[in-house]
């Protein structure tokens, strides 16, 4: 509807511009928005104030001219000028009724947009190192990434999800040593404090037990020195494979799946890292200094240059990441979205620099930084991580509060804000819990629809009603809220802000609950009942669309 109104305004402004002798091509973008106060009408525009600057005239006088044009539009029932020069417009009520029918007719396709124009997007997220189980912070990244992917898909992008497995580098060596130490501990050949820098989590002890049960007690000589590499590769890959398997299970439990799992190691073994460096060499953005090879990222906005090959000849993580992102573009993606923990923010400029150096457009790469999650239980903070390496895992959280609540909670805040996750609140089955609020709205409507069905209260099909008896303000508000979904989805996709969905859902549920308490749907008046059923069926449909986008279930009974 907004687009429709924008067209009216645009055409009116063009006419006025012509009459005043201004070019119709040189106009500011027409902004149409929902007025703050309902009393002002359905839509409003500040175009007269925008034009006042260019045309050097009083905004109210310009507004009068535009208003005169808009009044010729038969679909508008009222047009007024208010305040400093806002033009407020009210649509003919029958248009809203038509719109309701239209939305209902679209069924689950309502809100499928072509905004993305089939551009290919790769959303890379979680990508936790396979050195330990996922914790709650990874859960937030997983929820944000997965819902963003769903959102982009719905708004017309072609989307793939990817998990980048950091299975190369020092940390893998350390992981192998840590597991080997635990294994020897079980053989009573290691005692006391775990060596400095090793992974300390209990999960490695569990893995060592599993390893011993499956493979026996003679994998390595008990007398092996810590710095000795004997059998280390075996321990490393056993640990990495097991942990990665656990991560996959946790994500599956959380309802998150990936099209691709990409291995960092393969970028080294396949020569892609060398190829990427060679390309940078050709572009003359690499240089040697103090025995190392540097990428001149400061030429592309980074604060200083970065090492890609160390003096000892070993390539850095940054080097493989350049190769990785180069490869993403080579795979045909138009837009790369990476979701990282906020502690990686210093990394954004250098990777952007590399992408730019390789010829990528600046807006073809976006990094979403997800802030920390602090966990509490009934208001009391729960320690996230201690020196012993113990923390609350994602699996524990999902098992305790459920997938729906966990996913929903992770999306109740802008990624940029810290999130406090309270386990008791997420578990509670009362009105404190926003997840159930939205789901309950859905279940309530389903209950009415069931009642109609079972008792045969309505002998006509719901979609044969016109909606014409829906004239209460709260009925029109509901229709307007439904109508605004595509606009919301487009904005959420444009700004890469999936959390907007939970706010929309909460608003819609509030309106529904309020209406439900004030008005009866089923009554003796056939037309009124039918129209209200049409409204409710459509609200249900939109609730289900939003819940599904969040990866949260839409229960028919609660």
Partner RNA sequence: GCCCCCAUAGCUCAGGUGGAUAGAGCACCGGAUUCCUAAUCCGGGUGCCGCGUGUUCGAGUCGCGCUGGGGGCACCA
Site for RNA in 262-321 (CB under 7 A): 264, 289-292, 303, 307, 310-312, 314, 316-318
CA atoms within 13 A on the CB side of 118: 0
- Sketch the per residue contact string, 380 through 419, with RNA: x for CB under 7 A, - otherwise: --------------------------------xxx-xxxx
d(CA 480, CA 468): 15
Burial of 456 (0-12, 13-18, 19+ CB in 10 A): exposed
With binding defined as CB under 7 A, does residue 10 bind RNA?
Answer: no
Distances (CA, A) of 507 to 41, 409, 437, 450, 551: 19, 16, 10, 24, 18
Q: How far is the CB of 216 from RNA (least distance, A)?
A: 31
Number of residues this chain uses to bind RNA (CB under 7 A): 93
Residue written as token pair 């008990």:
222
C-beta closer to RNA: residue 83 or 257: 83
Contact stretch for RNA (CB under 7 A) within 111-119, 203-211, 228-236, 424-432: 424-432
Question: 341-370: which residues touch RNA (CB under 7 A)?
Answer: 342-347, 369
Question: 31-50: which residues touch RNA (CB under 7 A)?
Answer: 31, 33-37, 40, 44, 46, 49-50
Residue 372 in tokens: 């920390």
Q: Which of 400, 487, 548, 553: binder of RNA (CB under 7 A)?
A: 487
d(CA 328, CA 320): 12
Question: 449-468: which residues touch RNA (CB under 7 A)?
Answer: 451
Closest CA to 306 of 341, 353, 342, 363: 353
C-beta closer to RNA: residue 220 or 305: 305
CA atoms within 13 A on the CB side of 39: 1
With binding defined as CB under 7 A, does residue 54 bind RNA?
Answer: no
C-beta closer to RNA: residue 230 or 416: 416
With binding defined as CB under 7 A, does residue 480 bind RNA?
Answer: no
C-beta closer to RNA: residue 190 or 555: 555
Contact stretch for RNA (CB under 7 A) within 133-141, 177-185, 272-280, 509-517: 509-517
Burial of 400 (0-12, 13-18, 19+ CB in 10 A): middle
CB 100 within 8 A of CB 535: yes
Contacts of 278 (CB under 8 A, 6+ apart): none
C-beta closer to RNA: residue 10 or 506: 506
C-beta closer to RNA: residue 189 or 371: 371
With binding defined as CB under 7 A, does residue 78 bind RNA?
Answer: no
With binding defined as CB under 7 A, does residue 437 bind RNA?
Answer: yes
Question: 202-261: which residues touch RNA (CB under 7 A)?
Answer: none
First-residue to last-residue Cα distance in the chain: 34
């Amino acid at each position: 509807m907004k687009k429709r109104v924008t067209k009216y305004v645009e055409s009116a402004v063009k006419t006025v511009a012509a009459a005043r002798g201004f070019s119709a091509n040189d106009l500011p973008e027409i902004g149409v928005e929902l007025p703050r106060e309902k009393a002002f009408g359905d839509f409003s525009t500040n175009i007269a104030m925008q034009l006042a600057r260019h045309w050097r005239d009083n905004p109210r006088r310009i507004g009068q001219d535009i208003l005169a044009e808009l009044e010729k539009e038969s679909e508008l029932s009222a047009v007024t000028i208010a305040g400093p020069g806002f033009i407020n417009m009210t649509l003919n009520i029958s248009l809203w009724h038509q719109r309701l029918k239209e939305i209902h007719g679209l069924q689950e396709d309502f809100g499928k947009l072509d905004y993305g124009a089939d551009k290919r997007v790769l959303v890379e997220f979680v990508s936790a190192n396979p050195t330990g189980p996922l914790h709650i912070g990874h859960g937030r990244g997983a929820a944000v990434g997965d819902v963003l992917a769903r959102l982009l898909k719905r708004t017309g992008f072609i989307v793939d999800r990817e998990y980048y497995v950091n299975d190369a580098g020092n940390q893998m060596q350390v992981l192998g040593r840590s597991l080997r130490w635990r294994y020897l501990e079980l053989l009573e050949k290691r005692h006391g404090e775990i060596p400095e820098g090793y992974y300390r989590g209990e999960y490695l002890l569990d893995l060592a037990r599993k390893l011993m049960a499956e493979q026996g007690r003679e994998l390595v000589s008990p007398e092996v020195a810590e710095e000795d590499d004997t059998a280390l590769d075996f321990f490393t890959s056993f640990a990495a494979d097991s942990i990665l398997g656990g991560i996959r299970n946790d994500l599956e439990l959380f309802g998150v799946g990936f099209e691709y799992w990409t291995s960092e190691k393969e970028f080294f073994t396949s020569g892609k890292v060398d190829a990427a460096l060679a390309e940078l060499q050709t572009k003359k953005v690499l240089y040697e200094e103090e025995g190392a090879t540097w990428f001149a990222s400061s030429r592309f906005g980074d604060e200083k240059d970065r090492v890609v090959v160390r003096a000892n000849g070993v390539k850095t993580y940054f080097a493989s990441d350049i190769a990785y992102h180069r490869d993403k573009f080579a795979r045909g993606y138009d837009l790369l979205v990476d979701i990282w923990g906020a502690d990686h923010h210093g990394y954004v400029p250098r990777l952007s620099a590399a992408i730019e150096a390789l010829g990528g457009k600046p807006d073809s790469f976006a990094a979403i930084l997800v802030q920390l999650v602090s966990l509490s239980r009934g208001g009391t903070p729960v320690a996230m991580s201690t020196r012993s390496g113990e923390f609350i895992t994602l699996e524990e959280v999902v098992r305790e509060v459920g997938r729906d609540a966990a996913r929903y909670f992770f999306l109740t805040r802008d990624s940029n804000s810290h999130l406090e996750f309270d386990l008791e609140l997420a578990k509670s089955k009362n009105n404190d819990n926003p997840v159930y609020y939205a789901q309950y709205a859905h279940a309530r409507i389903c209950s009415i629809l069931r009642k109609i069905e079972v008792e045969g209260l309505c002998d006509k099909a719901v979609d044969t009603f016109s909606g014409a008896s829906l004239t209460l303000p709260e009925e029109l508000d509901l229709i307007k809220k439904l109508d605004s979904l595509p606009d919301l989805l487009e904005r959420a996709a444009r700004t890469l802000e999936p959390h907007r969905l939970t706010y929309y859902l909460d608003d819609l549920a509030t309106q529904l609950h309020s209406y439900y308490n004030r008005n009866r749907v089923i009554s003796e008046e056939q037309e009124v009942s039918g129209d209200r059923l049409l409204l409710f069926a459509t609200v249900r449909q939109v609730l289900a669309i939003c819940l599904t986008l969040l990866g949260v279930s839409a229960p028919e009974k609660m």
